[in-house]
Amino acid sequence: GPGLKVISTLSVGFDHLALDEIKKRGIRVGYTPDVLTDATAELSVALLLSACRRLPEAAEQVKSGGWTTWKPLWMCGYGLSDSTVGIIGLGRIGQAVARRLKPFGVRKFLYTGSGPKPESAAEFGAEFVPLTRLAEESDFVLVTCALTPATQGMCNKDFFGRMKKTSVFVNTSRGAVVNQEDLYNALASGQIAAAGLDVTTPEPLPTDHPLLSLKNCVILPHIGSATYATRSTMAVLAANNLLAGLRGEPMPHELKL
């Protein structure tokens, strides 16, 4: 309606907002960066570990009785020791992810994005590379970038085709960054080993979606920031953003339009 003055989103992502229209109407936007960085980075690592060590699959075998006699190569996954980790989008969340992965024995960090970020990368000795090289050299790929026209559909057939057969792909950014059909084909054909997705298009996926049928795809219900502590903080921040906007005051976290 014409009386709308403020939009306060409970997220750091703003891809769901039509910013041109909002700016035209002089509407202010508040969002919740920083406060959800740790929870989301932690969830990204949790998802990576669950995918590369096949946790849901293994837990299901325990319940279903599939775990009978023990065989040396049964339920084997991939270790992080001596691996190369590629981070797409070395922003706040990407850096927090790298920080958490470092002591797992990662040998090398690669990252890609719109441009190099030497100060952020220094902590991990991370090397800025083109997307293609990141795909080719990484054992683990984590997507932690924003959804923009540039990143939409970025992880597609060409991308997955370059990845290693033993690699694991994790997306905790936005579903639309990934071409889901191409991801399905890559997983089903063994072009990549496994995937972990906290975000999809749509959410939830329709019940007959092929990704749901894959044993090597761990899907979560968009819970990146879903902890009691973080959501409380986000809620308070979002409320304060809104109130400040309505009062015509500076917001704790305003999105620059």
Active site residues: 222
Closest distance to another protein from the beta carbon of 99 (Å): 6
Q: What is the length of the chain?
A: 257
Could you tell me the two tokens for 202?
């749509």
92-131 burial, b at 16+ Cβ within 10 Å, e below that, comes to bbbbbbbebbeeeebebbbbbbeeebeebbeebebbbbeb
Return d(Cα 184, Cα 169) in angstroms, integer: 12
Q: Are 155 and 178 in contact (CB under 8 A)?
A: yes
Q: How far, rounded to the nearest angstrom, does the alpha carbon of residue 190 sit from its chain's CA centroid?
A: 22
Q: Are 177 and 203 in contact (CB under 8 A)?
A: no
Please, which residue, 150 or 229, has the CB nearer to another protein? 229
Please, which residue, 34 or 249, has the CB nearer to another protein? 34
Closest distance to another protein from the beta carbon of 255 (Å): 21
Closest distance to another protein from the beta carbon of 68 (Å): 7
Closest distance to another protein from the beta carbon of 85 (Å): 13
Q: Are 112 and 94 in contact (CB under 8 A)?
A: no
Return d(Cα 164, Cα 155) in angstroms, integer: 14
Please, which residue, 103 or 248, has the CB nearer to another protein? 103
Which residues of the chain form contacts with another protein (CB under 8 A)? 38-39, 41-43, 45-47, 49-50, 53-56, 58-59, 61-63, 65, 67-68, 70-81, 99-105, 203-205, 207, 212, 218-223, 226-231
Please, which residue, 178 or 244, has the CB nearer to another protein? 178
